[in-house]
Amino acid sequence: MIEIKNLSVLYAGNTEESLSDVNLSLQKGDFICVLGKSGAGKSTFIRCINGLQKPTGGEILLDGKTITYAKEEDLRKIRREMGMIFQHFNLIPRLSVLQNVMTGTFGYRNSFKNLFGMFTAEELKRARSVIAEVGLAEMATRRIENLSGGQKQRVGIARALVQQPRVLLGDEPVASLDPGTSDRIFTLLKEMHERLGLLTIINVHDIELAKRYATRIVALKDGKVIFDGLPKDFKEAEYQETYESQSADAYFGAEI
């Protein structure tokens, strides 16, 4: 479904690439957890997939067509098929749950209709049913500020699902949540993933969550893929390689 070919990203002013020569083939039904230390390139990788980040090399193909060099108008059509959830939820403050979820449908309507809230009854019904699915049916009219972190992320998920996406992206969606809430969010994500037959790609810090929920794990280190396989094959050695800092070894080695 998504082919990633020689993907590289070099941020202006940096000498080292944040992503370097990444090659992956992602299939519908994959529930992929991307592991790696802070700064390993996880976030950059996720953001490349829906074009929030422009690569400096290589390209990404969706169903055989490039999205890397897509025009603004085509990029919007690609993005509306990809839901995205964020670490800090990125909801619009002062708006209600329902209003926030409705913004998920903005890619399917012209600006005039969006501006004046000209939604069809079918779209509103869909939004309400998605809100019910994430367990916030009674809170649809509540303002975002009055929700807990876990509830805010549920709104984020509802906003992504109302897009009727084929791909679900998560940039550290549970990094600001407590372990119990994180687990429940992952349960919800997995449930939606299976029911809607999505391709799900999520960055996580918590390796236990990744092993429990992922069908495939990709580990990044210094912008390079160092592991791509089944969760059961991600063992102590792989963990060490992903999280142990080589530069730290070198540093301590030099000291001793």
Partner 1 sequence: MWFKKSNFLTLAILILLVFFSMRLTEFDLSKFKDFRNMIDFLSQWFPMDFSLLPNMVQDTLETLAMAFLGSVFGLIIALPISFLAARNTSPSPILFQFSRIALSFVRSIPEIVFGLILLTTLGLGPFPAVIAIMFHNIGVFGKLISELIEAADPGPQEAMKAVGSKTWVANLFSILPQIWPNVLSQFFYRFEVAIRTSLILGFIGGGGIGQRLFNDFKTFQYSSVSLDVLIIMIMVIIIDFLASSIRKRII
Binding site for partner 1 (CB under 8 A): 50, 52, 76-84, 86, 88-95, 103-108, 111, 114-115, 156, 159, 163, 169
**What is d(CA 194, CA 206) in angstroms, rounded to the nearest whole number?**
21
CB 185 within 8 A of CB 156: no
Residue 102 or 219 having the CB closest to partner 1: 102
**Minimum distance from CB of 111 to partner 1 (Å)?**
5
Question: Which of residues 36 and 156 has its CB atom nearest to partner 1 in the complex?
Answer: 156
**Smallest gap from residue 207 Cβ to partner 1 (A):** 26
For partner 1, the closer CB: 18 or 105: 105
- Which residues on neighbouring strands pair with residue 194, listed in sequence order? none
CB of 50 to partner 1, least distance (A): 6
Q: Whose Cβ is closer to partner 1: residue 58's or residue 104's?
A: 104
CB of 92 to partner 1, least distance (A): 5
For residues 4 and 23, is the Cβ–Cβ distance under 8 A? yes
Crossing angle for the helix pair 149-161 and 121-133, to the nearest 10 degrees: 140
Which residue reads 């994500």 in tokens?
A: 189
Q: What is the DSSP letter of 91?
A: P
Nearer to partner 1 by Cβ, of 102 and 225: the residue is: 102
- What minimum distance in Å lies between the beta carbon of 202 and partner 1? 15
Closest-CA residue to 109 (of 99, 118, 100, 101): 118
Q: Is 104 or 222 the residue whose CB approaches partner 1 more closely?
A: 104
The CB density around residue 151, as the number of other CB atoms within 10 Å, is: 19
Query: Contact at 8 Å (CB) between 147 and 155?
Result: yes
Residues 6 or more apart in contact with residue 26 via CB below 8 angstroms: 1, 2, 3, 4, 32, 199, 201
Q: Please give the single-letter amino acid code of residue 68.
A: T
Closest CB 84 distance from partner 1, rounded Å? 4
